[in-house]
Amino acid sequence: MFELGLKVLISYLIGSVMGALVLGRLQGGVDIRSMGSGNAGGTNALRTQGWRFALGVVVVDIGKGMLAAGVIPTIELPFVAENSNLPLIWITITCACASVIGHVWPIWHKFRGGKGAATLIGTLIIIEPWLLIPVLIVWIIVLVISGFVGLATICGGISAALAAGVISESLENPLFLYCAVMSVYLIYSHRSNIKRMQQGTENRLHSVTLFRRPR
């Protein structure tokens, strides 16, 4: 179990590298956590710094999820005995979860991070890339209907869990469990968005909304 614990720790530390904050420092110390919604994610980066900055943030955040799920589980750690009796899929999912946790509560940035959606997408690219199809379809549909990025992200996460459940032979299937846990987590991490939507104060992306309300 020492090998698993070490790989989980490495994945958490990788997840703690925040794209928005690293790129912000390269731009003279910009910290988007003090701007807009206060979230260190791609949406707030887009609103406060523009699409080029936001693209860099998303690339970093997706990339670290891919690294944690695709590389860390299979590397051979020096002087550490392998957990030969532990299936690779469970090591992969555990490392994936650790990277998302690192993104949300990053040790390098005083445990103030983002909401984990981009990093979660990065892990799914490695674990089961076909799940991104229903996620993307649902995300786009909800976004153009509502204009709420947070709501689209929540619904996209739920669609991944439902799709994984359809193909799973058992509710104990590792892929289904991972997607189910992550979908519940996305609801939790977007609780402030849900509250603002209820209060009517949540920001909308009016430029992509299909049914625009008159101002």
**In the 3-class helix/strand/coil scheme, how is 4-20 assigned residue by residue?**
HHHHHHHHHHHHCCCHH
**Per-residue pLDDT averaged across 41-64, rounded?**
90
Query: Nearest CA to 19 among 38, 41, 39, 35?
Result: 41
User: What pLDDT, on a 0 to 100 scale, did the predictor assign at position 13?
Assistant: 97
User: What pLDDT, on a 0 to 100 scale, did the predictor assign at position 82?
Assistant: 66
- What percent of the chain is predicted at pLDDT more than 90? 57
* 21-to-74, 75, 128, 147, 149 alpha-carbon distances in Å: 29, 28, 29, 26, 21
Tell me: pLDDT of 17 over 90: yes
Label residue 99 by pLDDT band (50, 70, 90).
very high
User: What pLDDT, on a 0 to 100 scale, did the predictor assign at position 50?
Assistant: 87
pLDDT (tens digit, 9 = 90+) per residue, 157-185? 999 999 999 888 777 899 999 999 999 99
- Residue 24 backbone class (left: φ over 0; alpha: ψ -120 to 50; beta: rest): alpha
User: What pLDDT, on a 0 to 100 scale, did the predictor assign at position 83?
Assistant: 59
Query: Is the distance from CB of 98 to CB of 12 less than 8 angstroms?
Result: yes
- What's the mean pLDDT when you consider all of the chain? 89
pLDDT (tens digit, 9 = 90+) per residue, 112-132? 888 999 999 999 999 999 999
Show the CA angle centred on residue 14, arms to residues 95 and 31, nearest 5°. Answer: 135
Whole-angstrom distance, CA of residue 18 vs CA of residue 58: 10
Least confident piece of the model among 5-9, 145-149, 204-208: 204-208
- What percent of the chain is predicted at pLDDT more than 70? 95
* 144-to-53, 124, 159, 205, 211 alpha-carbon distances in Å: 23, 23, 17, 9, 8
